[in-house]
């Protein structure tokens, strides 16, 4: 199903179809991102290497910069990425501990 670009939407049905399509893409991308977390857990040899505060800071800063360019509210993206990165770290630690990567 083809979605209508936001600027061309004339009905709420079109808007909702577009939002649903974007949500599905976001979930698929999150699946890919967590695949990289599994890879990181497999590659890292020390549990202490899982948490990297400098990397966390740079990832969140990059997301905020991208938000600014895209015209998306920076505070929202900063909060969302804080949760995403912390959840990713917890996930990676769990995978590392389980040795299932």
**Per-residue pLDDT tens listing for the chain (101 residues):** 689 999 999 999 999 999 999 999 999 999 999 999 999 999 998 988 999 999 999 999 999 999 999 999 999 999 999 999 999 999 999 999 998 76
Round to whole Å and give the CA distance between 18 and 27: 14
d(CA 90, CA 69): 29
* Gyration radius from the chain CA atoms: 17
pLDDT of residue 68: 98
Identify the pLDDT of residue 35.
Answer: 97
Given this model, what pLDDT does residue 1 score?
Answer: 63
Give the Cα-Cα-Cα angle 40, 43, 49 (nearest 5 degrees). Answer: 70
Nearest alpha carbon to residue 66 among 52, 79, 77, 54 = 77
| The two structure tokens encoding residue 74 | 């920076």
Q: Cβ distance 37 to 91 under 8 Å? A: yes
């Amino acid at each position: 199903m083809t979605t209508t670009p936001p600027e061309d939407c004339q009905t709420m049905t079109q808007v909702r179809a577009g939002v649903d399509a974007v949500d599905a893409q976001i979930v698929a991308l999150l699946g890919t991102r967590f695949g990289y977390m599994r890879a990181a857990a497999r590659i890292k040899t020390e549990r202490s290497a899982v948490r990297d505060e400098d990397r966390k800071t740079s990832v969140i800063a990059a997301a905020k910069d991208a938000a600014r360019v895209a015209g998306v509210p920076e505070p929202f993206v900063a909060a969302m990425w804080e949760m995403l990165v912390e959840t990713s770290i917890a996930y990676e630690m769990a995978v590392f501990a389980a040795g299932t990567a």
